[in-house]
Chains A and B, each alone.
Chain A
Amino acid sequence: MKYILPGFLVALLLLMALSVTAIAQEQDETVGEDVDTLMQPIEQEPPPKPVITAGEDRPNDNGHKLTIYWDYPQEATGKIDYFEVYRAESPDGEFKLRGTSPSNYFEYFDIGDSDENAEDYLENDKDLYYKVVAVVEDGPSSESDVAGPYHAVGQWFHTGKVPVMIAVIIFAMFTIYFIQSARKGKDLFVRPLAGIEAVDEAIGRATEMGKPILYVLGIGTAADIATIASFTILGRVAKKVAEYQTDLIVPCYDAIVMSVAQDVVKSAYLEAGRPDQYSDDQVFFVTNAQFAYVAGVNGIMVRDLPATNFYLGYFAAESLILAETGNSIGAIQIAGTDQVTQIPFFVVACDYTLIGEELYAASAYLGRDPLLLGSLKAEDWGKAIFMVLLAFGVLAVAFGWEGFREIVRVNL
C-alpha cells in the first residue's frame, strides 16, 4: 500500500511526458521579423507569385477555422506591400477577400464565424479553395494558383487539455481512495484550526450574554464553492444554536442561497429536536445589490447587537465594512473566505480567520465526518504532488530541460 502512491507520481510524470512530446510537435512557431518600414520604389515588373503550400484545420477547436500557408521568396518581400487572401467554395467560383497579411508573414489564419446565419460563416467539412495575392499598391500585383480543397473540421478531444484530464482523473482517484479508506474506519489525523475551535466558545458566549448570533453567507451564489462550504458550517452552527436556544440571524444576499439556508437551518433545528423554534423570519433575503446588502446587515448589527458574527463564504469589498462595524459593537468575529484579496482585511479586523482552503476544510472539521475528512487527505496529497512537480520542474529548468514546462502547459 505504501508504495502505491509514490508509484502513482512516477506514472503521472511519465504519462505527462508522453503526452507532451505529441503537443510540442504540433506547435508551430512562426515569428515575424521586423516589418520593413521604408516603402520600396515602384517596380514595374510584377512580383513573384506566392505558392500556397498547405491549408490546415486548426487542431483542438470546433472547426470553422483554417490556417493557410504559402511560400514566397524571402528577397522579394521588400517589393510587395502585403498579401491578400481570398476564399471560394469552388475552384472557379466567386473568390471573396478574407483578409490581409504583412509582407513578411507567410500564413493567414482564416477565422470564420460558427453561426450559420453570420456573414462570414465558415462551414465545417466543406470543400474550400484559396488563393493568395501579393499586392503592390502602386503597381501590378501577382496572384497565386487556386489551391484546395481544404476542410475545417471540429475535434472530439482537445489534446491541449490532456494535463487537465490527467489531473482530474488522478485527483478523483485520490479522493475516492481516501474516502474508501475512511469508510473502513481508518483514523485520520487533522491538525487543529483555531477558527474552528473558537466556534463552540463563540456560540456559548452569545448564549451567556443572551444575545443573538449573526451568520453572513457572503455575496456568492449557491453554486460558489465558498458558499457551499459555508452551508455545511451553517448546519453545524445552527444545530448548536438550537441546542443552546440562542437566536440565529441569517440575512441573505442571493435568493437561492436564502432558500438553501432556510432548509439547512430548518433541518439543523429538527436534528437538535427543536423544530418549533425555527421560523423563516430568521433566514431572510435582504437584497442582491452588494452595498445595499451591506447597509442592511450593518443596520441589523447595530440594532440587534449580536454577540458573535460569522462571515463565511464569498466576500468582496464589503468584508472590511462588515468586520469593522461588527468590531465596533464588540462582537466576537469568525471569518473565512476564499477571496484572496479580502483575506487580509478579515485577518486584520476579525478575531479568527479561516484562510482560503481552511474554509473548505472547516466543514469536515466541524462534522468529523470520516468521508469529508478523507477528502482532506486527498487535498493534502494534491499539495504534495504539486510540491514534487514544482521541485522537479525547477531542477529540470536548472539543467536546461525546458520541456518540462510544456508538460504542464494547457494549450488553448
Chain B
Amino acid sequence: MANNEVQNQSLIEKLQLIDRRIIFVFIACAVVIPLLVGATMEEETTPIVQAFFDYVENLPEDSRVLLSFDYGPTTAPEIQPMADAIVRHCAERKCKLYMMAVWATGHNLTGETIVNVLNPEFPDYKYGEEYVNLGYKAGNQGLIRLLLVDFKRMYSTDAAGTAIDSIPMMENINNLKNFDLIVSFGGGFPGIKEWVLYAGDPGNVPVGGGCTAVSAPLLYPYYPNQLIGLLGGAKGAAEYENALITAYPQYENKRMAGMSLMVSQTVSHMVIIFFIIFGNVLYFLHRSKQKANGIEGGQS
C-alpha cells in the first residue's frame, strides 16, 4: 500500500516535470496543422465590422478610396490580412485605389499588398488608372492637415517619382474631400485617430480603420459617429474575410490570411491554457498528497 502511494506520487511528480519538448510538439502542431489543412474559422461578423463592409459594398463604381498604410513589420502579421481583405473588396467593387503611408515603414508593406493581392488577383488593374502608390511622406498629423487643404502640394510625385500630373487618376484629386472613403491601417501614432481628427471630422470624409488588437479598445469610442467601422486585430480581419466570402462566394476556396491566423492563434492559446491548467491540477494533487502524508511526505 505504502509502496503504491509512493509510485502514485512519483507519477504526479514526473508529470509535473514533464519534458518541455512535449509542449513544443503540441505548439508546433497547433500552428502547423491548421496551416496545412487550410482550416479557417468562421468568425461571426460583428456589427462594427459589418458596417465597414456594407459601406464598401455600397460604394458606386469608380469611387475613390484612399488607403493609408500606417504600420510596421512588427504588427504586419496582424494588420496585413486586413489590408489584403479590404483591397480585395475595393477591387471587387471596382474602386480606384490610392495608397499612401504616414509611417515610413508602411511604404514597403504597401508594395507587398500590391504584389501579393492586387497584381495576381486583379490583372486588369492598371497602375495610374485604377491604382496608384503614392508612398510615404513625413509630417505625421501635420501631413494629414495639409492634405485636407492641398493634396498635390505634398504629393508632387508618386512613390516611383512619376510626376503627379502625368498620372490620369490623380486628375480630379485636389484635397482629401475628393475621396469617397479613407481607410487607415494601424492604430499607433499617427494613425486612425489622427485621420479622424484631422481629415474625417473637419473634411466630412468617411473614415474606416484596421488596427492591432492592442489599440482597438482606444478607438472603439469613435464608432459609429466618426468611424464608419473598425477591424480590431486578427479577429477583425477574420470577420471581414467572413463577410467577404458571404458576399463573394468565389473566395470560398481562397486561403484567407486572417482566418487561418485566427485558427493557429486559437488552437495554440488553447494548448497553452490546457497545459497551465494541467500543471495546476497536478500541483494541487501533489500538494494534497503531501498533506495526506504529513510533513514527512511534504519533504520527499
Contacts and interface: CB of A to CB of B under 8 A. Distances in A.
B286 interface: no
A68 B202 CA distance: 22
Nearest to A103: B149
B149 A82 contact: yes
B204 interface: yes
Contacts of A82: 149
A328 B204 CA distance: 58
A101 B149 CA distance: 7
Contacts of B201: 34
Interface string A13-38: 00000000000000000001011010
Contacts, number: 20
A328 B201 CA distance: 55
Interface in B138-169: 148-150, 153
B84 to A, nearest CB: 26
A100 interface: yes
A34 B202 contact: yes
Contacts of B153: 99-100
A100 B201 CA distance: 20
Interface string A92-107: 0000000111100000
Contacts of B148: 35, 102
Give the interface size class of chain A.
10 to 19
Contact of B203 (A37, A99, A100, A328): A37
A6 to B, nearest CB: 39
Interface string B195-220: 00000011110000000000000000
A171 B64 CA distance: 56
Interface in A324-355: 328
B254 interface: no
B204 A102 contact: no
A328 B20 contact: yes
B20 A35 contact: no
B177 interface: yes
Contacts of A99: 153
B202 A32 contact: yes
A37 B203 CA distance: 7
A102 B145 CA distance: 10
Interface of B: 20, 148-150, 153, 177, 201-204
Given A35-B148, A35-B204, 4 more contacts: A34-B202, A35-B203, A99-B153, A100-B150
20 contacts: A32-B202, A34-B201, A34-B202, A34-B204, A35-B148, A35-B202, A35-B203, A35-B204, A37-B177, A37-B203, A37-B204, A82-B149, A99-B153, A100-B149, A100-B150, A100-B153, A101-B149, A102-B148, A102-B149, A328-B20
